[in-house]
Homo-oligomer: A and B are copies of this chain.
Amino acid sequence: MNEKDKLIYDAKAKVLKALAHPTRLWMAEQLSDGERCVCEFADAVDADFSTISKHLAVLKQAGIVEDDKRGKQVYYRLKVPCVLKFMSCVEAVIESQVKTQAVLIE
């Protein structure tokens, strides 16, 4: 792994890291259905408002979402919708894990 590779993999890992939190992942998936304002997330997620705001900032920083303010509210939407196509594969990993562990129990 050379210097250039290092930069590339840092960048890729950063994107994955942004999605690698249950709340952020859930929010990203919600956005696949259309934009949402912060308050809508606040209603659904059991966490401080500031916590949610910070999670959204992480997604934004990673380039996964973009936002715009309309009136008093800030709306977030997916900037690169393909991020969610990956989820079917993540689910495949989980299923495979479940099967592996089921075998162990037998």
Contacts and interface: CB of A to CB of B under 8 A. Distances in A.
A18 to B, nearest CB: 8
Contact of A25 (B9, B80, B82, B87): B9
Number of copies: 2
Interface of chain A, main secondary structure: helix
A90 B12 contact: yes
Given A16-B16, A86-B89, A91-B12, A63 B22 contact: no
Contact of A26 (B1, B25, B64): B1
A46 B12 CA distance: 19
A54 interface: no
B20 A63 contact: no
A93 interface: yes
